[in-house]
Amino acid sequence: MRRLIYISSTRTTFTAGDLEEILRISRRNNAAVGVTGLLVAGGRRFLQVLEGAEGAIDAVFERIKQDPRHHAVVVLSRTDIAAPSFGEWSMGYARGGAVRGDATLPETVAQLLAPVTDPSLRGYFEGFAQVHAAA
Ligand SMILES: Cc1cc2nc3c(=O)[nH]c(=O)nc-3n(C[C@H](O)[C@H](O)[C@H](O)COP(=O)(O)O)c2cc1C
């Protein structure tokens, strides 16, 4: 099983509605090929982890890279893993800003990371949430 972590920027600022639509499509597509993961939006930057069979990860990531809304897609880590980190989620999600007025981005991300034991995976997301806390 493969884990891929990437960071990217987008050309435009997505509205909450745009993000909901990306999530809806991602969950549908990922569930169909057994891919799970976590997407965190901080302003115009995204951090995403995708886990699943190698062929499925390659296919999903190829589509993401070719999406014209993305640019500067940079792979941070590509590793083989024994078991997935996120159970049944097709794509967990958090974003900065006022959408979740009751919790900061680091707090929301900490909740999403609750099932994750891998310190390196936790580190990427905790760091990103800190840096983009105000986004
Ligand atoms: C930040 C971001 C994350 C995305 N993550 C996924 C994903 O996990 N899975 C996926 O299938 N598409 C994802 N997409 C959407 C793809 O780029 C592409 O639009 C979509 O896969 C096309 O699906 P369709 O051919 O079923 O319309 C993401 C897009 C953005 C901007």
Residue closest by Cα to atom 8 of ligand 1: 26
CA of 56 to the centre of ligand 1 (A): 13
The predicted-structure confidence for 8-25, as pLDDT tens digits, reads as follows: 998 888 888 998 999 999
CA of 123 to the centre of ligand 1 (A): 24
The predicted-structure confidence for 32-75, as pLDDT tens digits, reads as follows: 999 999 999 888 899 999 999 999 999 999 999 999 998 899 99
47 lines ligand 1 (CB under 6 A): no
Angle, alpha carbons 77-83-84 (nearest 5°): 65
pLDDT of residue 98: 42
Report H helices in the chain: 16-32, 54-66, 105-112, 119-131
102: which 2 tokens?
């009751």
State the closest ligand 1 atom to the C-alpha of 46, by its place in the atom list counted from 1: 1
Judge residue 72's burial from the number of C-beta atoms within 10 Å of its C-beta, 0-12 exposed, 13-18 middle, 19 or more buried: exposed
Give the range of the structural domain holding residue 18, as residue numbers without chain letter.
Answer: 2-131
Contacts of 4 by beta carbon, 8 Å cutoff, 6+ apart: 49, 50, 51, 57, 61, 75, 77, 78
Domain count, the chain: 1
CATH code assigned at 11: 3.30.70.100
Residue closest by Cα to atom 21 of ligand 1: 63
Q: Which of these ranges, 1-10, 24-33, 47-56, 103-112, has the smallest mean pLDDT?
A: 103-112
pLDDT of residue 114: 87
- What is the percentage of the chain residues whose pLDDT exceeds 70? 92
pLDDT of residue 63: 96
pLDDT of residue 43: 82
Residue closest by Cα to atom 13 of ligand 1: 26
pLDDT of residue 99: 46
Q: Which residues on neighbouring strands pair with residue 46, listed in sequence order?
A: 8, 41
Amino acid in position 122: R
Q: How far is CA 132 from CA 24, 25, 42, 115, 123, in A?
A: 23, 24, 5, 22, 14
pLDDT of residue 62: 97
CA of 25 to the centre of ligand 1 (A): 6
